[in-house]
Copies of this chain bind each other. A is one copy, B any other.
Amino acid sequence: MAGNTFGDFFRISTFGESHGKAIGVIIDGCPSKIDIDESFIQAELDKRRPGQSRITTQRKESDTVQILSGTFQGQSTGTPISILIPNEDQRSKDYSHIQDKFRPSHADYTYQTKYGLRDYRGGGRSSARETAARVAAGAIAKLVLKRQGIEIFAHVSGVGSIEAPNLDGSQLSDLLEAREDNIVRCADPATAKEMESFIDTVRKNGDTVGGRISTIVRNVPVGLGEPVFDKLHADLAKAIMSINAVHGFEYGSGFEGSQMLGSAHNDIFIKADEGVKTLTNFSGGIQGGISNGMDITFRTAFKPVATIMRDQETIDAAGNQTTISGKGRHDPCVVPRAVIIVEAMTALVLADHLLKYKAYLNNAT
């Protein structure tokens, strides 16, 4: 109820503040006998880690995962897997200046009003640092999905007004390689260069910029998703919208599709060697809320980071007008690090629906 738990079957609960002792997650519902590859979990976290390039915050965190429970002799036991990520570089003094001021477009004001107090150090619980716990849990979800051959790929498809060309149908492994080849995490090298230099300019101006991430999920069996309220795309929307700074979500044809005619938008079914396919995929791999076996595709919009290295007008706790100066260490653009968070949330939704699917499938036949 209090909002720190996600999922029904493959359920995670995260905890921890930006500048507390540690952050972490409990995964309740990971099936037993999954090989838990710690190096993979660490590798996933490293993609989200601060300080990985000049266009990310310079905060120093090794983000080293400690698995405290739920595994035995390298495999999941079916009991809760708890993962701890200690906070190292806290520099709480950096934040004393915002103790009594509300940063524009941050959660300071709403937290203070809702709870009557707040851990103001680095945004406390509202800090995007919480997403490191999601990435760790998402890595385990990916290990569950891998056994079904389900693959997830996300990349930066837009920064400011720069837009990458649509991805062709190539292997996700190739796209992944291309993406990791540049610090923006865009699978199109030419666009990546453009984005990189633009982010540099923005950073030098002490400003920030928003961006977009596109996701493809491949090899999802037909039947994932529940009708009516728990449609697969509805659960994906909630999962993705719950990531800090996300302001928009669309799947398949999305907002553009709302301008189209039905005669152009309908996906015609055809018989293919691998079974039923559709000629087009405006449905984004989901029909009636249930996966239809085609690629699941969606796109996410991130607002610009609220912390800018400039003076801004605001009010203090007493309600008086004041000025706040940007300090601390922040990202000029979040999308390069957010790519892995989007993949993690996607994996969590799919792992949860995969278990639901099997619960009923078992009985339907």
Contact = CB atoms under 8 A, between A and B. Distances in A.
Interface in A127-174: 130, 144, 147, 158, 160-161
Contact of A248 (B3, B255, B263, B363): B255
Contacts of A116: 32-33, 364-365
Contacts of A247: 250-255, 257-258, 284
B114 A290 contact: yes
A268 B125 contact: no
Interface stretch (A54-62, A65-73, A175-183, A187-195): A65-73
A2 B259 contact: no
Interface residues of A, number: 150
A267 B104 contact: yes
A214 interface: no
B16 A82 contact: yes
Given A107-B287, A109-B276, A119 B77 contact: yes
Given A113-B222, A249-B237, A208 B308 contact: no
Contacts of A204: none
B308 A266 contact: yes
Interface in A66-124: 66, 68-70, 72-73, 75, 77-82, 84, 102, 104-107, 109-111, 113-119, 124
Interface in A31-52: 31-34
Given A31-B363, A356-B1, A105 B287 contact: yes
A166 to B, nearest CB: 16
Given A210-B260, A249-B249, A3 B292 contact: no
Interface of A: 1-6, 8-9, 11, 13-17, 20-24, 26, 28-29, 31-34, 66, 68-70, 72-73, 75, 77-82, 84, 102, 104-107, 109-111, 113-119, 124-126, 130, 144, 147, 158, 160-161, 202, 207-212, 222-223, 225-231, 233-235, 237-239, 241-242, 247-255, 257-263, 265-271, 276, 278, 282-284, 287-292, 301-308, 310, 312-315, 319-321, 354-365
